[in-house]
Amino acid sequence: MFLLCIYGQFNIKITDIDSKYLSVQLVDITGKLVKNLFEETQNDLSNVEIMVQKSNLAAGVYFIVTNTDKNSLTKKLIIE
């Protein structure tokens, strides 16, 4: 998973997924769900790009949680 921050938004790019299911969620520091960013079941999830507006988020620490039918990954995101 790659994060790219440009001005008032950031992009999440996920590549090389060996799965037919993918969900991406944004949660706050307490674990509360802030937003479901992506959830899809299909044969080709090899290249997914998600754009998120930072203006909708308060400054703080968040986590991007990705889940597939095979594993999960969590990355920290700091909004200033």
DSSP labels, 5-53: EETTEEEEEEE----SEEEEEEEETTS-EEEEEEEEE-S--SEEEEEEE
CATH of the domain at 71: 2.60.40.10
Tallying the residues shown for the chain, one arrives at: 80
Q: What is the pLDDT of residue 4?
A: 53
Which residue numbers in the chain have pLDDT < 50? Answer: none
3-class DSSP state for residue 62? Answer: strand
Q: In which domain, by residue range, is 49 found?
A: 2-79
Amino acid making up residue 46:
S
Q: Which of the 8 DSSP states describes residue 55?
A: G
pLDDT at 63: 94
> What is the number of structural domains in the chain?
1
**pTM score, two decimals?**
0.84
